[in-house]
A and B are shown apart, each in its own frame.
Chain A
Amino acid sequence: MHPEKTISSDFEPKVIAFVCTWCTYAGADLAGTSRMQYPSNVRVLKFPCTGRIDPVFILKAFQQGADGVLVSGCHPGDCHYIAGNFHARRRFAAFRKLLEFVGVDLQRLQFSWVSAAEGGKWVEVVTELTEKVRAMGPMMEFKELALEEQWSGAMISPELQDAYRQI
C-alpha cells in the first residue's frame, strides 16, 4: 500500500534513554500529556539525577544491544540536587574520550538537557537520535565482541553446548 514504507530498511534501532526524574522524565511525561508523537524505539530508565548515572550503565546498554544511548537531565544550574548534573557532565566528558578510544562511534551516544517544561524538546531529541542511529545501522562492535567472549553470549554456540554436555 505504501511502497516507500517497504523500501525503507527493516532495521529498527534500539535506543535506551537514561533520564533524571525531575526534568527529563517530567518533560517526557509532558510530551505524553500534550499527545506529541515520536518513534517508539526509545526505552526510558528513570534515575533520581543524572549524577546517579554510572558510565558503566552506558557500556552495559551497548553490550545488551542498544544501538543508541541518550542521557538527559536538567539544564545546567537547574539541578534538583544542586549540582548532580555538573558532576554528570564532567564524568561524561571524560567518558566520551574513553568510548572514542575503544572504538565506539560517539554519534550513538547523545547528551542533552531537557527540562520538565520541554515536552517538545524531548520529542526532537528522541526523534533525532533514533533517525541518526537508524541511518547508521545496527551497532555491531559490542555484539560481535559478546559473541567472541565465552562468558557472555557464546553460551549458545554448538561447540560450547557440546562441551557442557560432556561435563
Chain B
Amino acid sequence: MSRIGVFICHCGENISRTVDVERVAAHAAALPGVAYATEYKYMCSDPGQTLLKKAIREQRLTHVVVAACSPRMHERTFRKAVEAAGLNPYLCEMANIREHCSWVHEDREQATVKACDIVGMMVERTKKNRVLPTITVPVTKRSLVIGGGIAGIQAALDIADSGHEVVLVEREPSIGGHMAQLSETFPTLDCSQCIMTPKMVDVANHPKITLYTYSEIELVEGYIGNFQVTVRKRARSVDERTCTGCGVCMTKCPQKKIPNKFDQYIGMRTAIYVPFPQAVPNTPVIDRENCTRFKTGKCGVCQKVCGPGAVDFEQQDTLIVEAVGAIVVATGFDLYSISEKPKGSPIKGYGEFGHGKIPDVIDGMTFERLASASGPTGGKIVRPSDGREPKQIVFIQCIGSRAREKGISYCSKVCCMYTAKHTMLYHHKVHDGQAYVFFMDARTPGKSYDEFWRRSIEEEEAVYIRGMVSRLYQKGDKIVVMGSDIAVGVQVEIEADMVVLATAVQPQQGADLLAQKLGISYDKYNFYSEAHAKLRPVECATAGIFLAGACQGPKDIPETVSQASAAAAKVMTLFSKERLEREPIVARVREVGCVGCFACKKVCAYGAVEEKEIRDRQGNLLRVVASVNPGVCAGCGTCQATCPSKCVELDGYTDEQIVAMIEAL
C-alpha cells in the first residue's frame, strides 16, 4: 500500500492567487493512497524542503507529489530533497499547477478544479512509479566549440587553459568572426584588431586546441559526455602543413577583382586568398567558384609560383570524426540585409531605404570596414561610389529592429552604442563634417555606456533627431533623407553624402539547420533557446550543449565574452567528474514476451536495440530477442509505442503510469 505525500506550493502568491491551495490539499488528502497532504508558501525554499524531508520520515511516505511550478524548473530540486530523505528520487513527481494552471487562468473556481485534477492525475501516476537505479556513463573529457568568433575563441581558450582538449570548428577560412571586422569598440574606442588578433594567435598556438577552419559540422551523434561529431573539412586546395603563408600566390593570381566578404564586398581580393592579412591560420584558400583554373582548366599560376608546392587542385573535402563530451555553440550573428526580402523568411525587406540600389547607402558593418585601418580604404571614410569624403552623413537606427510590421520585434541591443561610436569615428576623421542620427530611443544600459553616448552629442557634435525616416532618394550625387523630428514636430530634409543604416542583428544563416543537427531548440527568429531564461542562461535544454554569444540573442562584446567564459566553466564542471549520472529513463525489453520482430530496432534512431540470443544449457539457440543498451538509449520511447506485443517499456513512462493518469481524469 502506498503512502503518498502531497505538497502544495503557494509560490508566494503566484499559485495561491488563483488556486485555492487549501482546497487542493483537502482534495488530495482524500485521494486513496494519500497519507499526507499539506500546503506551504515556498516549497522550494530551505524550510519548504525541510518540511518535505521531515514529512517523509515522520509519515513514512513511500511516494511524493509536489504540486508547484513546471518540472522543467524544480524537478531536480525536489528529487534531490527526496533522495536526501532516503527515498529513490524517481518516486517523486511534480504536478505543474503554476505554468499550466494558475498563470494561464483567471477564474479561481476553474483554476482550483483544474489544479485538483492535475494533482489527482499525478497521484495516480506516482503510485505506479518504480525505484529506478542511477545509470552512470563515462565522460569524454574533450570539448567541441562551434564558431571561431570572439565567443568561440574565449570559450576554447578557457577550456584549453584548464587542461582539456578543445576542437574548434569555424566555417570561414579564418577565425576572428565579426569582431575582427570592427574598427574600434565602444565604450573605450580600443582598436578591435589589437585586442582580437593576439587571442586568435593564442588559439592557433595552444597545444590543447585543434583548429578546423573552412569546416562545418556534418553530423552530431551521441549524448552528454559521449558525442561523436563528424566535421566536414572543405577542400582548401592548399595544403596547410606545407604552406608557409608567404603570400606569393596571392600577388600572382590574375583574378584580382573579386569582392571580399570580409570587407563587406567593398574591398577586392584574389581567387586564392586569405580574408584579411591577420588571418589565423595564415593559409590561403582557393575560391573555386571564381578561380580560372577551376572554371576553364587553364591558369595554375599559384601552383607554379608556390615554393613549397602547397597548392593542390585535386584536394577533396574530408570528413573527420571527433569524440567529445561537451559542445559549446557560438555561431554568432549576421546583419540583416535589407535590400531584399530574404528567401523563405517571414521578414520583409526595406526596399524604401535604397540599400543595394544607392551605392552610398551602407550598413553599419560596411562603415566599420571603411573606418578600420586595415580596411580597403586604409581607414579613410569615403563614399563607395566616387571615393569622396562625405561632408554630411546620416545614421538611421532601428532598421529592422523593433519593427513588428517588418517581422522583427526585438531590439538588436548594440546599434545605439555602435552608432554613437560611428559618429565619433566620423568626427575624428572628417573634422568639418556633420553627423545626424535618426533614432527612436537611445538604449544605453551598460558600464560607461550612457556617458559614451552623451559624449558623442556633447563633445563630438552629433545631431540626434528623434524620429524615423520615411523616404530616401538619390538627387544628383546627394541622397535626400526625409524624416520627422517628433520632439519639435517638424519635417526634416537633409541632403546627405552618405547614409549608414543600423540594421538588425540576426542569427547566422543556417542556424536552424545546425540546431536540428544538434537537437537543440530555437525561437522563431532562429536564435537558440537557453534551458532557463534566468537560472540556466548558458545551457541548452539538451544536456551537454552550451551556448555562448549572439547565437542566443543580440549581445555586445563584454556580454559575449562573459557568456563564453560561463559556458567554459560549465564544460569544466562537467569534466570534473569521471563518470556522469544520467536519468534512468531508458527502455527495457521483457524478454519473456518478445517475439523477436525487431520493429523496435527499426525505429530506434540511436541504434540502442541489439539482438540477443537466448540459448539453453546445452548451448542450443532457442530464440533471438531484442535487448536495449541502456548506455546508448536516449529514452524517447518510440520503441514502446511501436512494439506490437507490448514488450518494451520505457522506465518512468510505462503504459501503466500513463493509463493511470488518463483514468484519473
Q: What are the interface flags for A16-46 relative to B under an 8 Å C-beta threshold, 1 for contact and 0 otherwise?
A: 1000011101101101110111101001111
**Are the CB atoms of B107 and A60 closer together than 8 Å?**
no
A48 partner, pick from B542, B637, B659, beta carbons under 8 A = B637
A36 proximity list for chain B (CB < 8 A): 104
Other than A29-B99, A46-B71, A83-B638, give 8 A-B pairs with Cβ distance below 8 A.
A31-B104, A35-B103, A48-B585, A52-B641, A60-B663, A80-B519, A81-B636, A117-B521
B624 at the interface (CB under 8 A from A): no
B641 near A51 with CB under 8 A, answer yes
Residues from chain B with a CB closer than 8 A to the CB of A33 are 99, 103, 533
B658 at the interface (CB under 8 A from A): yes
- Give chain A interface residues in 118-162, CB to chain B under 8 Å: 118, 123
| Contact B638–A14 (Cβ < 8 Å) | no
7 A-B pairs with the lowest CB-CB distances in the bound complex, closest first? A32-B99, A52-B637, A51-B638, A81-B636, A117-B523, A82-B605, A49-B636
State which of A57, A77, A80, A116 has its C-beta within 8 Å of the C-beta of B659.
A57
CB distance from A87 to the nearest CB of B (A): 5
Query: How many Å lie between the Cα of A25 and that of B70 in the bound state?
Result: 9
Q: Are B541 and A64 in contact (CB under 8 A)?
A: no
> For the complex, is B650 an interface residue (Cβ under 8 Å from A)?
yes
B516 touches A43 (CB 8 A): no
A157–B269 Cα gap in the complex (Å)? 88
User: Which interface residue of B113, B640, B658 has the most chain A CB atoms within 10 A?
Assistant: B658
Q: Which A residues are CB-close (under 8 A) to B605?
A: 81-84
- Please, which residues of chain B bring their CB within 8 A of the CB of A37? 104-106
Q: A87 near B523 (CB under 8 angstroms)?
A: no
| Smallest beta-carbon distance A127→chain B, Å | 11
Q: How far, in Å, is B588 (CB) from chain A's closest CB?
A: 14
Contact B100 A84 (CB under 8 A): no
Task: Tell me if A66 counts as interface (CB < 8 A to partner B).
Answer: yes
List of A residues within 8 angstroms of B106 by Cβ: 37
Is A22 touching B541 in the complex (CB atoms < 8 A)? Answer: yes
Pairwise interchain contact A78-B521, C-beta atoms closer than 8 A: yes
B665 in contact with A16 (CB, 8 Å): yes
CA distance A88 to B99 in the complex (A): 26
Cβ of A54 under 8 Å from chain B:
yes
| B121 interface hit (Cβ, 8 Å) | yes
Could you give 15 example pairs across A and B, Cβ below 8 Å?
Answer: A16-B662, A22-B521, A29-B70, A29-B99, A32-B98, A40-B101, A52-B640, A61-B665, A66-B665, A74-B521, A78-B516, A79-B519, A80-B521, A80-B541, A115-B521
Task: Given the known inter-chain contacts A26-B521, A52-B640, A52-B641, please indicate yes or no for A116 contacting B541, CB distance below 8 A.
Answer: yes
- A157 shortest CB reach to chain B, Å: 20
- Tell me the complex Cα distance, A25–B542, Å: 15
Complexed CA–CA distance, A79 and B634 (Å): 12
Q: Are the CB atoms of B521 and A32 closer together than 8 Å?
A: no
Contact A118 B638 (CB under 8 A): no
A70 in contact (CB, < 8 A): no
- Least CB distance from B513 to A in Å reads 9
Tell me the smallest distance from the CB of A78 to a CB of chain B, in Å. 6
- Given A38-B104, A53-B641, A60-B659; A26-B72 close (CB under 8 Å): yes
Tell me if A91 counts as interface (CB < 8 A to partner B).
yes
Q: Does any Cβ of A come within 8 Å of B2's Cβ?
A: no
Q: Are A78 and B515 in contact (CB under 8 A)?
A: yes
Q: By the criterion CB–CB under 8 Å, are A57 and B663 in contact?
A: no
A113 within 8 A of B: no
Verify if B117 is at the interface (C-beta below 8 Å from A).
yes
A111 contact set on B, CB distance < 8 A: none
| Residue pair A52, B521 in contact (C-beta under 8 Å) | no
**Complex contact B638–A28 (CB within 8 A):** no
A40-B111 contact, Cβ under 8 Å, with A31-B104, A35-B103, A64-B665: yes
Please, how many angstroms separate the alpha-carbon atoms of A35 and B529 in the complex? 19
**Inter-subunit contact B117/A43 (CB<8 Å):** yes
Q: Does B661 contact A (CB under 8 A)?
A: yes
Please name all residues of chain B whose beta carbon is closer than 8 Å to the beta carbon of A91 when the two chains form the complex.
641-642
Partner of A118, one of B96, B524, B533: B524
Which chain A residue shows the least CB distance to B103? Answer: A32
Please encode chain B, from 499 to 518, with 1 for each CB lying within 8 Å of some chain A CB and 0 for all others: 00000000000000001100
Whether B110 is near chain A, meaning CB under 8 Å from some CB there, is yes
For the complex, is B276 an interface residue (Cβ under 8 Å from A)?
A: no
Pick the residue among B71, B515, B636, B662 that contacts A51 (CB under 8 A): B636
- Is B105 in contact with A40, judged by CB distance below 8 angstroms? yes
A-facing residues in B174-195 (Cβ within 8 Å): none
Q: Are A57 and B637 in contact (CB under 8 A)?
A: no
Q: Is the CB of A81 within 8 A of B521?
A: no
Q: Are B637 and A51 in contact (CB under 8 A)?
A: yes
A45–B664 alpha-carbon span in the complex (Å): 12
- With A57-B658, A81-B636 known as contacts, the answer to whether A29 contacts B663 (CB < 8 A) is no
Is B529's CB under 8 angstroms from A117's CB? yes
Once bound together, how far apart are the Cα atoms of A50 and B516, in whole Å? 17
A54 touches B641 (CB 8 A): yes
